[in-house]
Structure formats: C-alpha cells, structure tokens
Chain A
Amino acid sequence: QKEVEQNSGPLSVPEGAIASLNCTYSDRGSQSFFWYRQYSGKSPELIMFIYSNGDKEDGRFTAQLNKASQYVSLLIRDSQPSDSATYLCAVNGVSDKLIFGTGTRLQVFP
C-alpha cells in the first residue's frame, strides 16, 4: 500500500462547479497535511494546510481532515479554468519528512 494515495485523474469539472480532490494516507501517526498546486512545468505551490480534524476554509478552498478514516480532501468552489493543474497531497511521516502523493490532475473546462 502506498503511503499517500490519490486518484491520478484527470478530474474534469465545468467552470463554476465544485471540484473535490481526495487523498488517503497510511501512517496513523501523521499530524500535518498539506495541499500543493502544481502547474505543468512549474514547482509545487502550497495552497492549504490542516492539522486538526474538521474543515478549514480559505477563500474558495476548503480542506477537510478525518484522522479516524485517514482521509483528507480539498474542495475548490466556483472552479475556474486557472485552477487546472495537478494537486499534490502531502502528509508528514517518519522523521517529520513530507510524503507526497502522485497528484490528481484537475481540468476545469469553460
């Protein structure tokens, strides 16, 4: 089992819709969870982090964490074509190193 799993996609949503990106992780001891956005050919950019169970909202983005289910998600409301990118989930693991998933490619079409 991979340590951090994401559906590779692509996830296609129409402009204005809600995009829902999911991530599961295997280490129950993980404490910190991060979502990065990566445009093609560019480096990852942090968009959200969450440490506690529940929801955390920042503008159009909401991160959701359920430690019991080892599940973290990212919701993007009012999706825009500029949101089209790969979204990487990262979880802190052994020795506080981040473990990255392979990412979900999101396509927002007009």
Chain B
Amino acid sequence: DAMVIQNPRYQVTQFGKPVTLSCSQTLNHNVMYWYQQKSSQAPKLLFHYYDKDFNNEADTPDNFQSRRPNTSFCFLDIRSPGLGDAAMYLCATSREAGLYEFFGPGTRLTVL
C-alpha cells in the first residue's frame, strides 16, 4: 500500500544529544512537510519542501534542520534537543501545495 512511513516511532534522547528522524513516502508526492505537535495543540509547521525547494517557517528554531535527498525521503535533524522539544513529530505529504495532506504515523520524541 502507498503510504508515509516514519522511523523510529518512538525516540528517546538526552538533553543536547543530536537526533535524526526520518520519513519516507511511496505516494510520489511533490510536497513533504514536517510538523511538531504538542499535547492538546494544533500541529505546528516547521518546514516544507516543494520538490527540492526548501521553505522554512519564520519561527522555526535554528536547532531544527531538514534534508530531502530525493523525492521519497525527508529527514528532520534536531541538533541539540532541549526539554521543550519533546513532542510528536509528524511528516506529511501532498501531491501539490494546498491540497490535502497525508500524514505518517508520527515519531514521539522524549528528551531526558
């Protein structure tokens, strides 16, 4: 089945220890998004790629970086996680910007 896959599903890291989350898709969608969602809050867009074009949200901390080496894969790097970065990280894809977004299962990040 075509889908969006995120690995790992659960990630525990220590304060300040870099972590990388991955996302892959078999939908061949042009757009890939990374969201952060904390409890009882709306998903917060961190950045998105339209094909290879990277778009960073103005309020996304410099601590967060992303890579999209090809159409299928996208990575979220958190260089020095703080306690406030503990959240669910959601990857989503869309055939075109403005159309509905298809979400992966998410990665739950815990920072100790």
Chain A residues in contact with chain B, CB under 8 A?
4, 8, 31-32, 34, 36, 41-46, 49, 88, 90, 92, 95-98, 100-103
Q: Which residue of A lies closest to B35 (CB)?
A: A100
Question: Across the interface, which residues of A come within 8 angstroms of B48, CB to CB?
Answer: 97
Known: A43-B88, A97-B98. 15 other contacts (CB 8 A): A32-B100, A42-B105, A43-B90, A43-B103, A43-B104, A44-B43, A46-B100, A46-B101, A49-B100, A90-B101, A92-B98, A98-B101, A102-B41, A102-B42, A103-B40
Q: Which residue of A lies closest to B45 (CB)?
A: A97
Interface of B is mostly: loop
Chain A residues in 8 Å Cβ range of B55: 95
User: Once bound together, how far apart are the Cα atoms of A45 and B101, in whole Å?
Assistant: 9
Determine if A100 and B97 form an interchain contact, defined as CB atoms under 8 angstroms apart. Answer: no
Which one of A8, A49, A95 has the highest number of Cβ atoms from chain B below 10 Å of its Cβ?
A95
B2 proximal to A (CB < 8 A)? no
Tell whether, in the assembled complex, residue A96 and residue B97 are in contact, meaning their CB atoms are under 8 Å apart. Answer: yes
- A49 partner residues in chain B, CB cutoff 8 A: 100
Considering only residues 72-112 of chain B, those with a C-beta below 8 Å from chain A are 88, 90, 96-106, 108
Please determine whether A101 and B98 come into contact, CB atoms closer than 8 angstroms.
no
Q: Which residues of the other chain, A, contact B106 by a CB distance below 8 angstroms?
A: 42-43
CB <8 Å contact, B97 and A32:
no
Q: List 9 A-B contacts (CB under 8 A).
A: A42-B105, A43-B88, A43-B104, A43-B106, A46-B101, A90-B101, A97-B97, A98-B98, A98-B101
User: Assuming A97-B45, A101-B42, A102-B40, is B98 touching A46 (CB within 8 A)?
Assistant: no
Contact A46 B42 (CB under 8 A): no
What CA separation (Å) do A75 and B96 show in the bound complex? Answer: 27
Q: What chain B residues lie within 8 Å of A32 (beta carbons)? A: 98-100
- For B49-89 the 0/1 string (1 means CB < 8 A from A) is 00000010000000000000000000000000000000010
